[in-house]
Amino acid sequence: MGSLVLVKPADEYKIGEVITFKSPANPKELITHRIFDIEIRGGKMAYITKGDANEEPDQRKISKGEIMGKVLFSVPYLGFALNFVKQPLVLALIIIIPAAIIIYDEMKKIQREVKKKRKWRNIC
């Protein structure tokens, strides 16, 4: 939970592979679980998944069309940080504070240049 994962679609998925699929309750939410078992019914594959921290497999079976892809690699806890940064106030602060520092620094540079030009005019 909270990991950032990189997924890639595949032609086939095997037991033991970790896959990412859309949540049935909220299509904007993605779930990453391991394939626990595969059932074939009517010529179609249904994937039974299980979260590594869960004791029981998920009750809902996943069709191939619901799978976003299999996990190539993951970075633990980075997902929590990215979700935190996505909050509007935090995002605004991440943009506003550096922008204010850059603007302040540029204004100081302009002010120094203006002083140099005035000084040079007074000499000539």
pTM listed for this prediction: 0.65
DSSP assignment string, the chain: ---EEEEE--S---TT-EEEEE-SS-TTSEEEEEEEEEEEETTEEEEEEE-TT-SS--SS-EEGGGEEEEEEEEETTHHHHHHHHTSHHHHHHHHHHHHHHHHHHHHHHHHHHHHHHHHHHHH-
The answer to whether residues 65 and 20 belong to one domain is: yes
Whole-angstrom distance, CA of residue 63 vs CA of residue 46? 5
One pLDDT digit (tens) per residue for the chain, 124 residues: 778 889 999 999 999 999 999 888 888 888 999 999 999 988 889 999 999 889 999 999 999 989 999 999 888 878 788 778 888 888 888 888 999 999 999 999 999 999 888 887 777 6
Into how many domains does the chain fold?
Answer: 2
Check which CATH number belongs to the domain holding 34 and give it: 2.10.109.10
Supply the range of the domain harboring residue 33.
4-79
